[in-house]
Every structure is written in C-alpha cells, then in structure tokens.
Amino acid sequence: MSRSTFAPDVSVVVPILNERGTLSELTERVIAACDLAGRSVEILLVDDGSTDGSWASICALSETHEEVHGIRQRRTFGKAAALSVGFQRALGEVIVTMDGDLQDDPAELPRFFDALDTPGTDAVSGWKKERHDPLGKRIPSKFFNFVLRNVSGLKLNDFNCGFKAYSRDAVDALGPYTYGDMHRYLPAVLGAQGFRVDEIVVQHHPRVYGESKYGFGRIFAGSFDLVTVMMLTKYRYRPMHAFGAAAAVAFGLSLALTALVLALGHASLAGLIVGLGVLLVMTLLGVGVVSEIAVHGSATGGNDRRISEVVNREAASSQPRVRTAEVLADERAALDVALHELASARIRAPEHRRPDRGTSGVTSPHGRHHLSPVDALSAREQA
C-alpha cells in the first residue's frame, strides 16, 4: 500500500494472522478512540501469512480509510517479525502495538497516551489482570512472567501482553531485538538499556473470532529466547560472568558426580567424569574469553542509545574528528605560516649581537648560533 507524507501523532501496529472477522470493527474503534483523545493516527495492519482472506479485507479497508496501511509478509514469520516491519514503517512519535483479535480494547488507547505522557516514561505495558484465555495459554504465561520478572529485575506483572505503547526513542532501540519470539521480552530489553517501562491494568475480552495461536508448545521456544535475552541484556558487556558462572556450576556438578561414582566403587568411571568435567569447564571459559575480546573490540561504538540527554553540547561535537590527508595538509600549511611569521618577527627584533655574515638564523646574546624555526623545520624534513 502507498504511504502519504503525513506524519501522524500515533502509529498503531497490528500483527494479523487469520483475523478477517475483526478487522473492520478494529479499525473503526481505533480511529474513534484516537479521535476522542485528539490524536491523529495511522493503522499499520501487518498480514503475517494469513490464509483466511485477511489480506483482501486489509486492502478493502485501505481504500475506504486513509488511516489504514497494509503490509503483507510473504509467509508466516512470527509476531516479532510482523512488529519489526511495522516499527520500520511507523511515522508516529507514539507507537502502539495491539493484537488484532479484539481481546485488546481500543477504548484503552487514551489511557496509554496519558501514561506515556508522564515525564520520564519511555514505554507503557498493559496488564491483563483478569484474563479470558484457555488454561493452556495462561499457565505458560504465568510461568514466564514469574521467571522474567526475577531475571530482568523489571517488576511487571504481564510481560506477555501485546497491548503496549512506546516512545519513538524506545522503538528505535528495539530494532535489533524484534525477531523470532522475542516480542514478549521487549520490555525487559528496554529495561536493560535504561528505559523506563510503566504498566497499566487493561481490559481483556473473550475471543469471539478465530483461534488462539499460543499454547504449551511455546514454552520450549520461549525458554531458549529467555537465555538469549539474558545474554543480550544482562551479560552483553560482561559475557565472561555468564560463561564463568556456567563453568563453576559444571565444575561443581562434575565433583559431586565423581564423589558419587567413587562411593559406588567405580573408580575408572570417575576418571572419565573428571576428564569430561575439566574439558567442559575449559571450553566454557575459553568461549567466555573470546566473547570478552569481541565485546572489548566493539565497546567504543554504538553508545548513542545509552544517552538520554545532552546539555550545552551540539550533537556533532560528540563525534570523533577524523584527521584525513586534507586535514593534515591544512594543519601543515598553517604551521608553516606561523613559523614564518615568528622568524620574521625575530629577525626584525634588535639583537645584542649581529650574526656572522653569510650565516642563516639568529645568534643568542652568548654568541651561540641558532637556526630559525623555518630553517630548522626544513633541515628536519631533509634529514
């Protein structure tokens, strides 16, 4: 779909997977809520490989509503990928994400705007305090909320809620992390980067159209994503701490297992366990060292996103000056001019003793002969 040059106040990004029955009502209610809040809006409907005719509905809505813009992925890449393409094309200073099944209530949008307007707040996450989901979706959600709350240190009750509002700066910081199943960890990523994430209670309605796309199967993929989040946030700049801790655990387990095997009278097997344990520990420590070297080599770049505000300093001045060949030539020319003027001034000045005829330079009051700065520079170049 074509885009206008109009920059709205709010961009609402909605991943769509077989939600044809809700799209028209969703669009009308989002527009009405934003009109009530006095905010202009664009609605980015991202079709993540739907097979129920959702794309045809999106195209029809874009013809009748200038606020609607459709984006179609070639196949189902996942919710995080759909959010990523929406983030890349969003023009608003406030970016809202919500599901397309109408379980998230568009009437809550003004509350998100008000919460995000609080000074210092970078993102607002919804909390579905009373959920209307099947048990197979609620249990994995509670488990991950508990684990992630303790791992990240971010005291949110509902990381999994898809109803969120972000500032433009927060969305720009999320770019490298919107892939796979990482969408549920985005608040933790922001918190690890120093952004402030608040939470508000939102209504959660029973699903009327379509089917839930989540269940117990997500718990395994989510476990690996949790490890990824820890490495990319908590241990990103100190990977040796993570690998060193893993090595210590492996060493302790190998000692405990060795003691158990010896107690059972299997001395030969104990030697094998010790050898494997040492190999594992050395491997983990080696990976940690290599990771630290990689982090050290890139630690000087990409610091702009860690900075929240700069006072009395132009942005350009924070960039390192590159001394190119042209810059060096200009500096050399300026130095030659300065040295020439200095030499001329000293020649014009009265001397206690005139220099010997035929010599170049100046003579000190004590009779010692000194080259002028220009001649000294020329002699140094010839040498």
Kindly report the three-state secondary structure assignment for every residue of 269-322.
HHHHHHHHHHHHHHHHHHHHHHHHHHHHHHCCCCCHHHCCCCCCCCHHHHCCCC
Write out the chain's pLDDT in tens, 383 residues. Answer: 445 557 899 999 999 999 999 999 999 999 999 999 999 999 999 999 999 999 999 999 999 999 999 999 999 998 999 999 999 999 999 999 999 999 999 999 999 999 999 999 999 999 998 876 777 677 777 887 888 888 888 889 998 899 999 999 999 999 888 887 788 889 988 988 889 999 999 998 887 766 665 555 566 666 677 777 777 777 777 788 888 888 888 888 888 988 888 888 888 788 888 888 888 888 888 887 887 777 666 554 455 555 666 565 554 444 444 556 666 677 777 887 777 777 777 666 555 444 444 444 444 444 444 455 545 545 555 55
Q: Which residues pair with 104 in a beta bridge?
A: 204
According to the model, what pLDDT value does residue 5 have?
Answer: 56
* Dihedrals phi, psi of 375, to nearest 5 degrees: -65, -35
Backbone conformation region of residue 254, classed left if phi is above 0, alpha if psi is from -120 to 50, else beta:
alpha
Distance of CA 57 to the CA centre of its chain: 33
Q: Do 56 and 96 form a contact (C-beta atoms < 8 A)? A: no
Q: Distance between CA 373 and CA 346 in Å, rounded?
A: 10
Distance CA 75, CA 82 (A): 11
The angle at the Cα of 180, spanning 176 to 183, to the nearest 5 degrees, equals 70
What is the sign, positive or negative, of the torsion defined by CA atoms of 343, 347, 348, 349? Answer: positive
Spatial separation of the C-alpha atoms in residues 354 and 351, rounded to whole Å: 6
| Distance between CA atoms of residues 121 and 128, nearest Å | 20
| pLDDT score at 320 | 47
Q: Which two tokens stand for residue 173?
A: 């910081």
Strand ranges, E, within the chain = 10-16, 41-47, 68-72, 94-97, 123-127, 164-167, 197-201, 362-363, 369-370
pTM of the model: 0.67
DSSP 8-class letter at 366: T
